[in-house]
Structures are given as C-alpha cells and as structure tokens.
Amino acid sequence: MTQQSPDRQAKILRGVLEKYPANNESRRKFLPTIEAWVRQLEGAPVVDSPKAIESMSAVVRQALVDAENLIRTSGPASAVDRVHTALHGHVKALCDAAGIALPDRPTLQVAVKRLRENHPLLVPTGERAGEVSRILYSMAATLDALTTLRNNATAAHPNESLLGDHEALLAINSARTVFAYLDSKVQA
C-alpha cells in the first residue's frame, strides 16, 4: 500500500473501515488509530478528539461520537455544532463536580470563565503564569467566536452559507484544544 499516493492510501483505509466495521471491542480499539492515519494522509491537521471518560455525561459522549462520524461522513462543518455541544456540556459538568455555581442556561463562555476563575487546579502557576493566563483569556475569545460560528455558519440553524472545511477544522481544533487542556488539569 505504501506505493500508493497518500490520498489513495486514505481511500483504501476508508474502504477497509467500511468493509470491516468496528462492531466488536478488538476492532473498536484500533479505530481511532486508523482514523488518525486517514486524517494524516488527507493532510487534515486535526487535534485528537477528547477520549470519553466515565465521568462524562451520556450526552457529551454521544456528541463526541456524533462529531467524529460527521467529520468522516459529512465533513467538518457538520461537526462544529456537536463539538460545541460536547465542550459546553463537559464544562458545565466540571463546574457542577467542583461545586462552582452557574446561572441558569449559561453560555459556553460563561461556564468556561467560571470554571477557569474558580477551579483550584486551573490557576496558572510557575514562572510563566502570566503568559498562560493570557492564552486562557485569548481562548475565551476563541470560544465566543466558536459559538457565533456554530449559530451562524453551520447546520445547527438554517443558515444560508456554511463554514469551509479548513475553517471548520480550525473551530473544531480550537474546541478540542480547550477540552484537552481542561481535562489534563482537572482530571489529573
């Protein structure tokens, strides 16, 4: 297979996944690796999807699964809403687990801000705490833009024009980066 072009290798791997679906545990454990190979071969820079953990709600886990399926079958623009939903639900659950009060129906940005400001494990420390704080505050603006894109440039609502694949991947990768950072700090 290595004699084939990268796009042809990706098509071959997709064909293998279609012909032999991950319908048992031994196949499911290899699925993320094969999907990552396909993304690499297709040249799509993708931050790994968060790994489902037992403390995640069923809604968050399902949104992550839906996002992966949509990226693969319908394209990244279709998955932005599901990634947004997964991050929003997960952040709300992290706040709840830490006893951090949220208003009724908090936005993603409000929930992340409350979590960042009130969770003891999210206080930046060390020599570069200032720069880390600046990155976190910048990510808040990113999440605000993610919400706007979700509402105005995806199929989450009847919008006339949708995000392009590259822009949708940027939004997805941004959300996944925040997801990974929060989990690495809070679940440690």
pLDDT (tens digit per residue) in 96-132: 999 999 999 999 999 999 999 999 999 888 899 999 8
Mean pLDDT of 86-90: 94
Please give the share of the chain, as a percent, with pLDDT higher than 70. Answer: 93
Q: 129-175 pLDDT, tens per residue?
A: 999 889 988 988 899 999 999 999 998 899 999 898 889 989 999 99
| Model confidence, pTM | 0.74
Residue 65 token pair? 């699964």
